[in-house]
Structure 1
């Protein structure tokens, strides 16, 4: 397997960026994916590197010490009343740290507004040579592959792409053949985790699983092989696998190690040839 792996900050949310970088280095990752845009969620640490100069210095030192790289930052949400300019300091941080991508998602039902603001976020990011990947989320306003592609086509920004989360794809009910039709240029990285096959019946339970109880790859009911084999072979994989119970049992470092090992073991069996599905349809 030559596919590069990153660890998403949600997997080790209570670790500072520097702590996560050192853990990622010791456990075999190639990248880290950081969360320097503070979402103001209850109990979520604030890793606003733009305004925490000591944390920024520590983060830069950790990258220098380990040789790891920053894959992406998150989360540039599109919501009613938001101002894209508020994300500018985080984009500057991403560029200074050598990042490549910005993760975005849409939480407004006003489609025209969403397209306008997403386009503005893309324009801001482009100043720093950053791409913006739009993720569909089952509890957000844009929650399917078709919805996401509609926004991307309407916004029509050259640095915009799509970010597939294996959990979200499974929950959306989208079909693999539709994923296989997407141009390869839209893919820059994807999120990997597993989950129970059956979706929760309540939004609260969906949120809980999303942030607290995702599963090792191959442990649940998501068609991981089908999804991964429908994404271009060289696309980096960011492991987003928060699981509070396992972190309490194992600690962040051992848990991060097992997340990566189980993912590599599964993909070495099920994705070694990448199935050449995209080649069959000329992508």
Structure 2
């Protein structure tokens, strides 16, 4: 089996209607080895599942993961904006540490560059106390809109536990080039795969809509995902993030389809 398939992760956003225990159960059933959990809300009203360290709920979840042989790899999703307060994340970081998570996904949305950099540094320092690293993800409608900006911010932060998260949609739709990725590969710690079709949206509203309801399973769109995978090699964590957008679809069928499509993408011709 392809080593990348053996270690493949599934982002919670792919089946966000499911609470953590149901989500990890489905992910393991479909063949995923790792999951990301959304413990923090990236925007007002966003579905998320806050957990408290030491609670019966988190103990049951940890036991379920151990029984299934699946790993909680990352926690999402924090937006570092003008009102950001790192101290407000202590509870989430405590829960992440108890679950054994290794990374926290963040986005930057503060036009005050100095304050943004300071807040990223503060968060990295706090996260390190819980054994967590921090991955910056670019999004076209936020201040850190491009991969180049995310990479520059992480490089300037110089924290040992700061990295870049490359989401295939956000990377390519916002001008990311594979040459840039290769040049900054030492800072790339995580990659999220999905696919898209057609022209890139040109408005913030269009970008948000595509990111949340316009993604396709890897290999079912037009992005050069094979080239992206070749650029990152086999040491970077790879997960799938494709939200279920079909109102008639079910999380079970959707997640199994994501694994089937990804296996097809990752399996060399003649070895399937």
Is the CA contact 1:165–1:192 (under 8 Å) kept in the aligned structure 2? yes
Residues 55 and 208 of structure 1: CA distance in aligned 2, closer, same or farther (over 3 Å): farther
1:40–1:183 Cα change, 3 Å = closer
Q: Of 143, 164, 167, which aligns to 1:165?
A: 167
**Given the alignment of the two structures, is residue 32 of structure 1 paired with residue 35 of structure 2, yes or no?**
yes
Q: 1:124-139 to 2 correspondence within 5 Å?
A: 124-139=126-141
Gaps of 5+ in 2: none
**Are 2:53 and 2:98, in contact at CA under 8 Å, matched by a contact in 1?**
no
Matches within 5 A, 1:61-140: 61-140=63-142
Structure 1 stretch displaced more, 52-61 or 233-242: 52-61
Aligned to 2:263: 264
- 1:52: how far off? 10
Displacement of 1:54 in angstroms is 4.9
Q: Is the 8 A contact 1:197 1:222 kept in 2?
A: no
TM-score w.r.t. length of structure 2: 0.92
Q: What RMSD in Å do the two structures reach over aligned CA positions?
A: 1.8
- Please state how far the C-alpha of 1:51 moved relative to its aligned partner: 7.7
Deviation at 1:98, TM superposition (A): 0.8
Give CA deviations for 1:14-65 in whole Å, capped at 9, x if unaligned.
Answer: 10011100001111000110011134533x3341112894542442232132
* Structure 2 counterpart SS, 1:244: coil
- Number of the residue aligned with 2:62: 60
The yes-or-no answer on 1:225 pairing with 2:226 is yes
Which residue number corresponds to residue 253 of structure 2?
A: 254
CA distance in 2, matches of 1:183, 1:25: 29
Tell me, in whole angstroms, the C-alpha distance in 1 between the residues paired with 2:138 and 2:35. 21
Specify which of 6, 10, 13 is matched with residue 7 of structure 1.
10
8 Å contact from structure 2 (residues 42, 78) kept in 1: no
Q: TM-score, normalised by structure 1?
A: 0.89
Q: What residue in structure 1 maps to residue 197 of structure 2?
A: 196
Deviations 1:186-236 (A, max 9, x none): 232210000114112332222112112210112212111121211131222
- The equivalent of 1:277 in structure 2 is none
Length, aligned pairs only: 267
Q: Secondary structure at the match of 1:214?
A: coil
Judging changes above 3 Å, is the alpha-carbon distance between structure 1 residues 54 and 208 closer, same or farther for their aligned structure 2 residues?
farther
Name the CA shift for 1:256/1:130 in 2 (closer, same or farther; >3 Å).
same
Single out whichever of 200-209 and 236-245 deviates more from structure 2: 200-209
Task: For 1:183 and 1:227, locate their aligned partners in 2 and report how far apart those are by CA, in whole Å.
Answer: 11
**Partners of 1:230 and 1:199 in 2: CA distance:** 22
Q: After TM superposition, which residue ranges in structure 1, 4 or more long, deviate above 4 angstroms?
A: none
Q: Partners in 1 of 2:267 and 2:122 — Cα distance? A: 40
Report deviation, 1:152: 1.2
Alignment partners' CA distance in 1, 2:108 and 2:43: 17
Q: Is the 8 A contact 2:244 2:251 kept in 1?
A: no
**Alpha-carbon spacing, 1:115–1:18, altered in 2? closer, same or farther (3 Å):** same
Cα distance in structure 2, aligned partners of 1:233 and 1:66: 24
**C-alpha contact 2:103 2:135 (8 A) present in aligned 1:** yes
